[in-house]
């Protein structure tokens, strides 16, 4: 080989190298389906956590969102439609959306950002080894339900009659735990009101007040959370003190909230998504439980209701809204 031939070949090889790199196809963006029962603020936290992990919308990830906007009756159809679009992975929360998705697919990975009783709902075999195509975060509402009633009683000494607002599509273990706590407190009378659609809220509060309810215990539910502003407004209009599952209610004007930090759960769901997109199988990823709990008190609402919250409760609060 002559020197001229060698240099010519070297030049051509150098010129061809960038062309070869440019010709490589761009990496396929991950398609993540979201079935939102109507809690977009929590899915915003999930998407922010994904960004923190390096997933940039429009570059390496795209979202396919279906929102029920707080209406339970639309969820099965939305779940079917989302599965048919065949995303790489689906994220949702609460019993009805997750059960609807599980009925539609046994192959697409599903991440539960929050579910009350994953085993009882038939979504996983066990928390350590979920099996199947679903894993994620399971919160402790059953364990917290009794404590929530105790907090309500501490805030309202002498409380006798409590109306329990319940979403019957969720795990009913919360109902049993709350009823058990009421029996142990001896003098508390508990009456359950099941609510299946937004049209029932107003007459339910009216029935509770006419039935002698002195306060409301709103059980954990994505459906109820999605309609929290209406519920909080009705509690105020009917002058019924109420306790709820998470800080979102207190920020909307609710009197008391005690429970897990839902925003933290949705952020942690992003870690599951990252692991699955990198090759992990949902069946092998243990279902985790919450690590952050908080008591929030809205003193502005207490004042509007003419209530004085005991100092013993105020000093334990993680946040007091004034």
Q: Where are the beta strands (DSSP E) in the chain?
A: 30-36, 61-67, 89-93, 110-115, 134-138, 161-166, 189-194, 215-218, 242-244, 256-260, 293-298, 319-321
Residues 132 and 185 in one domain: no
Residues 203-255 pLDDT 10s: 999 999 999 999 999 999 999 999 999 999 999 999 999 999 999 999 999 99
Domain residue limits at 170: 141-261+294-321
Task: Please give the structure tokens belonging to residue 252.
Answer: 């909307």
Look over the chain and give the mean of its residue pLDDT values, rounded to a whole number: 90
Residues 142-157 pLDDT 10s: 778 889 999 999 999 9
Residue 234 lies in a domain: yes
Between residues 290 and 257, which one has the greater pLDDT? 257
Confidence (pLDDT) at 186: 65
Residue 141: pLDDT band with limits 50, 70, 90:
confident
Residues 287 and 299 in one domain: no
Residues 79 and 216 in one domain: no
Residues 268 and 247 in one domain: no
Residue 5 lies in a domain: no
Residues 277 and 214 in one domain: no
Residues 136 and 270 in one domain: yes
pTM (2 decimals)? Answer: 0.85
Confidence (pLDDT) at 89: 98
Q: At what angle do helices 95-104 and 75-84 cross, to 10 degrees?
A: 40
Residues 194 and 307 in one domain: yes
Query: What CATH code is carried by the domain that includes residue 223?
Result: 3.40.50.2300
Max CA pair span of the chain? 103
Closest to 89 measured CA to CA, from 116, 126, 62? 62
Residue 160: pLDDT band with limits 50, 70, 90:
very high
Q: With contact defined as beta carbons under 8 Å apart, do 268 and 281 qualify?
A: no
Residue 22 lies in a domain: no
Task: Of 63-67, 203-207, 292-296, 304-308, give the lowest mean pLDDT range.
Answer: 292-296
Residues 171 and 239 in one domain: yes
Residues 309 and 200 in one domain: yes
CA distance 269 to 64: 17
Stretch 157-185: mean pLDDT? 89
Residue 76 lies in a domain: yes
Residue 6 lies in a domain: no
Residue 26: pLDDT band with limits 50, 70, 90:
low
Query: H helices of the chain, where?
Result: 3-23, 40-52, 75-84, 95-104, 141-155, 173-184, 201-210, 222-226, 228-237, 247-251, 262-277, 299-304, 311-314
- The pLDDT > 90 percentage for the chain reads 76
Residues 100 and 163 in one domain: no
Residue 10 lies in a domain: no
Residues 164 and 308 in one domain: yes
Residues 146 and 193 in one domain: yes
pLDDT exceeds cutoff 80 at 52:
yes
Confidence (pLDDT) at 151: 95
Q: With contact defined as beta carbons under 8 Å apart, do 208 and 162 qualify?
A: no
Stretch 37-53: mean pLDDT? 97
């Amino acid at each position: 080989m002559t020197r001229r031939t060698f240099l010519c070949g070297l030049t051509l090889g150098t010129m061809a190298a960038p062309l070869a790199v440019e010709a490589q196809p761009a990496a396929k963006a991950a398609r993540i389906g979201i079935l939102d029962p109507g809690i977009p603020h929590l899915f915003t936290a999930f998407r922010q956590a994904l960004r923190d992990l390096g997933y940039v919308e429009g570059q390496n990830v795209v979202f396919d969102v279906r929102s029920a906007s707080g209406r339970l009756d639309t969820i099965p159809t939305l779940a079917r439609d989302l599965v048919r679009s065949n995303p790489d992975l689906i994220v949702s929360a609460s019993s009805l959306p997750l059960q609807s998705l599980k009925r539609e697919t046994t192959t697409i990975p599903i991440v539960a950002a929050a579910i009350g009783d994953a085993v009882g709902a038939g979504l996983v075999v066990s928390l350590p080894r979920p099996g199947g195509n679903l894993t994620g975060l399971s919160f402790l509402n059953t364990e917290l339900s009794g404590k929530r009633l105790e907090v309500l009683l501490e805030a309202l000494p002498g409380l006798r009659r409590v109306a329990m607002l319940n979403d019957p599509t969720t795990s009913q273990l919360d109902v049993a735990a709350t009823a058990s706590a009421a029996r142990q407190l001896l003098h508390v009378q508990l009456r359950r009101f099941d609510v299946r659609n937004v049209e029932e809220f107003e007459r339910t509060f009216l029935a509770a007040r006419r039935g002698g309810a002195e306060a409301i215990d709103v059980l954990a539910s994505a459906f109820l959370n999605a309609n929290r502003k209406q519920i909080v407004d009705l509690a105020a209009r009917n002058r019924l003190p109420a306790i709820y599952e998470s800080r979102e209610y207190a920020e909307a004007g609710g009197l008391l909230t005690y429970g897990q930090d839902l925003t933290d759960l949705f952020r942690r769901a992003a870690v599951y998504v990252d692991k699955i997109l990198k090759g992990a199988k949902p069946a092998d990823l243990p279902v985790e439980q919450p690590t952050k709990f908080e008591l929030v008190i809205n003193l502005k609402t207490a004042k509007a209701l003419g209530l004085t919250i005991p100092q013993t409760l105020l000093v334990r609060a993680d946040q007091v809204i004034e």
